[in-house]
Amino acid sequence: MLEAAGMTWVASNWRCAAGELDLIMQQGEMMVCVEVKVRTGSSRGTAEEAVTPSKAAKLLETSAWFMAEHFPVAEPVWRIDLVAITLDHSGKVVRRTHIENAIVTG
């Protein structure tokens, strides 16, 4: 899905004191931090609803930390996307959504 959108993989499961980034991708000159949320059914809400305001703030802080650590001289343009996946009870994907710029970086 992300590769089809013209992105290339940079890193996954990157951790620092601020938190963890599921995926870091690059799309042209844009660095893209991707939060992946998976839910089975909708009894606990949708995958999109799992990104609370506090989770969004943590993603912003962690993404900024990644950019500062990996691009100390000239921070690139970056954004945070969300990939939301819903599975049925057998584990089959029933819905997959990619939301670009899901968390506004300011």
pLDDT tens column, 33-92:
999 999 987 777 888 888 889 999 999 999 999 999 999 888 889 999 999 999 998 999
105 pLDDT higher than 70: no
Is the distance from CB of 31 to CB of 14 less than 8 angstroms? no
Strand partners, 23: 12, 34
pTM: 0.91
Q: Please tell me the CATH code under which domain 3-103 is placed.
A: 3.40.1350.10
Q: What is the pLDDT of residue 106?
A: 59
- Render pLDDT for 9-32 as a digit per residue (tens, 0 to 9): 999 999 999 999 999 999 999 999
Report the 3 state secondary structure along the chain: CCHHHCCEEEEEEEEECCEEEEEEEEECCEEEEEEEEEEECCCCCCCHHHCCHHHHHHHHHHHHHHHHHHCCCCCCCEEEEEEEEEECCCCCEEEEEEEEEEECCC
